[in-house]
Structure 1
Amino acid sequence: MAQFSRIAAVTGANKGIGLAIVRNLALQYPSSAFNNGPLLIYLCARDIGKGKEAVTTLEGDAQLKKAKALAQAGGLTTVKFHKVDINSGSMSDFAGFLEKEHPEGIDMVINNAGIAMEGFNIDVVKQTLGCNYYGTLDISRALLPLIRPGGRLVNLASMVGHLNSKYSAEIRTAFAESKTVEDVTALMKAFTKAVEEGKENERGWPSMGYAVSKSGIVGMTRALALEEKEKGSGVLVNSCCPGFVKTDMTRQRGQKTVDEGAQTPVLLACGDIGGTTGEFWQHEEVIEW
């Protein structure tokens, strides 16, 4: 597919923030410094029907039509669906597909896929960490080698993953001093073990699987950025909080629209961020983790 100069993939993109990220990437790419010609975005979701329906929705989107953003209207962007379930362990299949279709490499990966479950028990914790932390780690590991120099990897985290008083000073220090993915994964395992034993609070953890999974994403993303920097790959790796967005995941209680929530991820994917890597972002700026 040499007709495309840039290749992007967005996971969890059939609705909500993920779908808004695809739409805003199509809208903002032409005026970005990242514009190097036609863009192909893989809209990724685990449900084939919903994923294809999302592509159809974008093709009929009034804002995209007015901007003439899509190729069918003479624009730069083509959106295609591809099935990706970060909770299934099939990331190597997607990586293999991309490597075959785009041997020259890809440019942008935005990992939005994740879950937020009701309640708190060991099953909820294992499922939440399995998808949000381990799933995001697996797809990041699978796709990073395919990203060309100057490309971007963006992992969506959350402000609930901020290192605040919900953690003990010891746990906060362990997160802050983590340097490798193994360091962060060890913390995820320690949290899981504490929950299994019913001792998470006395060991300095909150009874919050989602929050811990997002802290893990921030720490893991920072560690991946260090790895890429040491390799000299030129790939920028950042995590971000989209804000409290009105989506199904927030039970429609959010204050931001999905388009507002998409702004920081899109900035990190194709905007001018001055070579920043390994940081945690919110409101289009770096914040302290």
Structure 2
Amino acid sequence: MYLPPAPDSGSTNPWVQFFCSTENRHALPLFTSLLNTVCAYDPVGYGIPYNHLLFSDYREPLVEEAAQVLIVTLDHDSATSTSPTVDGTTTGTAMDDIDPPGPENLFVNYLSRIHREEDFQFILKGIARLLSNPLLQTYLPNSTKKIQFHQELLVLFWKLCDFNKKFLFFVLKSSDVLDILVPILYFLNDARADQSRVGLMHIGVFILLLLSGERNFGVRLNKPYSVRVPMDIPVFTGTHADLLIVVFHKIITSGHQRLQPLFDCLLTIIVNGPPILPPPTHWPC
């Protein structure tokens, strides 16, 4: 069951390999069930204050595990591996070692084939709702449940945009893209001084870099920023583009040294916007 790190580094996990291959006849219901479990989860529920202290939420660990399983399956590269069967053997022969064709990852295949706008809306609304959960503010302190698996959600969102370009274009043409942008900026600002969360910083910056490559993203940044998120940034009146610049300024000036490789990406994100952005209404001092 246990292998040394060196020999295991170049081998594939046979369980994940079988799980994503065409040998798994339950791949489609598993994929849809996992995706529905994540996107349909509402940690607030009916909004009863302190309900998370009175009742245990059994769905949160289920949703977190479902998101992690989705990430593992979507991250598996089956193009360079052979398909395992139930008895543990592979379907290839000795001649296949020269140029193994490998089966297609069914989870990536099913994800890339989603095309209905109502499905895109369901996925985007669900992920935006979960990402915005830590930002909720109420009159009663700590009265709403706060989830902790936002890093898994960011990785899953990255996979969705990477494997399904139609979903990416839907996100960019929708005003809900700002519901993704604001939580990402919140997490980046919150994790900028914590070296243990450098992975969160990378995935957040890479998502913004991917979105900034499209014109519609810069257009959406012109929307006035009215929702006040609890962040340690100067109070200002402006657009979401101003919020992005202010947060990036905080990351560059007060972030730890391990974030320096990301500075070029931050500047690229800003450069991608000016052709369709008005002059900034606020510059950080």
TM-score (normalizing by structure 2): 0.30
> If each structure's strand is expressed as a fraction of its own residues, which one has the higher value?
1
> If each structure's helix is expressed as a fraction of its own residues, which one has the higher value?
2
Q: For the pair shown, which has the larger CA radius of gyration, 1 or 2?
A: 2
TM-score (normalizing by structure 1): 0.30
